[in-house]
Amino acid sequence: MAESRQKSPAGGAAVRRAVLPPALLGFLLLLTLMFALSYAVGSAAGPVSPGMSGTSPGGTSPDGGGDVQDMDMGGMG
C-alpha cells in the first residue's frame, strides 16, 4: 500500500507555489476595480479648479496672492 503512493513531481510543487491564493486574487481584483471606477468618476467630474495651474515662476501663487512669507499670519509673525 505504501508503494501505491507516489510522490508528486517537483514541478507540481513549484506550480502550486506560483499560484496566488484566491483571497489575494480577489483583493487585487477589487483594488483594480475600485481604482478604475474612481478614475472614471474623476475624469467625468473634470478638474477641481479649471484656472489653477502648477507652480508659477517667481514663487507667487496662481491667484496672485504672493509668497508664503508675505501672507498675514494673524499676529503670529
User: pLDDT tens, 8-53?
Assistant: 566 666 666 788 899 999 999 999 999 999 999 999 988 888 777 7
pLDDT in the model for residue 46: 86
Tell me the C-alpha distance between 48 and 46, whole Å: 6
Which residue matches cell numbers 499560484? 19
User: Residue 14 half-sphere exposure, CB side, CA atoms within 13 Å?
Assistant: 3
pLDDT (0 to 100) of residue 3: 59
Q: Residue 56's pLDDT is what? A: 59
Instruction: Examine residue 55 and state whether it is found in any structural domain, yes or no.
Output: no
Domain count for the chain, please give it. 1
DSSP state for residue 74 in the 8-state scheme: S
Residue-number span of the structural domain to which 26 is assigned: 16-44
Q: What's the alpha-carbon Rg for the chain, to the nearest Å?
A: 29
* Per-residue pLDDT, 59: 54
CB 22 within 8 A of CB 28: no
Q: Residue 37: inside a domain, yes or no? A: yes
**Is residue 55 over pLDDT 80?**
no
